[in-house]
Amino acid sequence: MEKQERTLPGHGHEGHHHNVPASVSAVFILCIVLNLLFVIIEAAVGFVSDSVGLLSDAGHNLSDVFSLLIALLAIKMATVRAGRKFTYGYRKLTILASLLNAVILLVAVGAIIIESVSRLNSPQDVSGAAISWTAGIGILVNGFTAWLLMRDQDRDLNIRGAFLHMAMDTLVSAGVVVSGIVISATGILWIDPAISLVIAAVILVSTFNMLKESLFLTMDAVPETADMEKIEDGLSGIDGILGWHHIHVWAISTTENAATVHLVLENADRMEEIKAKARQLFRSAGVAHCTIECELPGSVCEEKECGRESAGR
């Protein structure tokens, strides 16, 4: 006999979708195409002019293209319906994608630093004009890309990461323009690898927070978008709740959080009212999916079963 999924009204998987607009996919595709074209131009000019600054920036921009591709794939996979094997669907891929993107950036930083240090020891003649004009194009491409992503950056960690990459790249390209002007005016060749080291430092700083947050989310840490203090204070303030325990908050994806909690009630008469207030509290604190179990004082679960001490007023 074929098995059927049983759900109560309002408790199915249909309403639990990754809430990133479909238009974001088109924006990502446009950003990928623009940045890939720029990488090809920048790398070609870098090879011809023998500029490590341009080549390092092209390598970083290529890593951004891969990051955009990974983020787009993760966002697409997050919309796949949940099933019996993956009851949350594939939304966790968005977290893994943000972690992978951070790692890619760190690898790019390492490559830039190694090549720049080598060039500092033996500076090579480069064309300041070629560097400036090419990086000027980069300002336009990266700036336009960042502008496209800016509107939706608060919706998803991957989109925010892509926006930060493009915004930082705009500043980096501006720095490369300055290095080209300085080389043309003074002939100081070590400026090119020095700017590359500055690029590496900027990328490292901008990547650190995303790496830390992504790593924490893979370990089911409380997401930064969830206000744990508000939840705990709010539960203690709901009339009819004697205490609470077994509270866990974690990320389903880069846009959705979930939680479980056991509530100890004075009596069962107002259970549904109290559960409704608790759900509203979790939603206002950044948790969309909440499982609430209610208990009476004489039937509180053992600590070894709950995994956390009781708390409350």
Please say whether the beta carbons of 293 and 132 come within 8 A.
no
Least confident segment among 206-210, 233-237, 250-254, 264-268: 206-210
Residue 84, pLDDT score: 83
User: Which H or E run contains 265?
Assistant: strand 257-265
CA distance 259 to 265: 19
DSSP state of 311: B
Contact present, 94 and 157 (Cβ < 8 Å): yes
Question: Is 0.85 surpassed by the pTM of this model?
Answer: no
What distance in Å separates the CA atoms of residue 286 and residue 67, rounded to the nearest whole number?
A: 26
Range of the domain at 205: 23-218
Is 64 inside a domain boundary? yes
11 lies in some domain: no
What pLDDT sits at residue 277? 93
Integer Rg of the chain from CA: 25
Position of tokens 């020095």? 194
Edge-to-edge strand list for the sheet holding 289-295: 241-251, 257-265, 289-295
Q: Of 76 and 279, which is predicted with more confidence?
A: 279
CATH code for position 277: 3.30.70.1350
| 253 and 205 within one domain | no
Torsion of CA 285, 290, 291, 295, to 10 degrees: 20
pLDDT tens per residue, range 214-227: 899 889 899 888 88
Q: Is 102 helix (H, G, I), strand (E, B) or coil?
A: helix
Which tops the pLDDT comparison, 211 or 161? 211
Residue 243 lies in a domain: yes
160 with 278, same domain: the answer is: no
CATH code assigned at 120: 1.20.1510.10
84 plus 130 within the same structural domain:
yes
For residue 292, list its beta bridge partners.
261
C-beta of residue 179 within 8 angstroms of C-beta of residue 191? yes
Out of 184, 218, 252, a domain closes at 218
Residue 20's pLDDT band (cuts 50, 70, 90)? low
DSSP H or E segment with residue 284: helix 271-284
Q: Cβ(157)–Cβ(214) under 8 Å?
A: yes
Mean pLDDT in the chain? 78
| Mean pLDDT confidence for 282-296 | 90
Is the domain of 284 the same as that of 167? Answer: no
Do 239 and 175 share a domain, yes or no? no
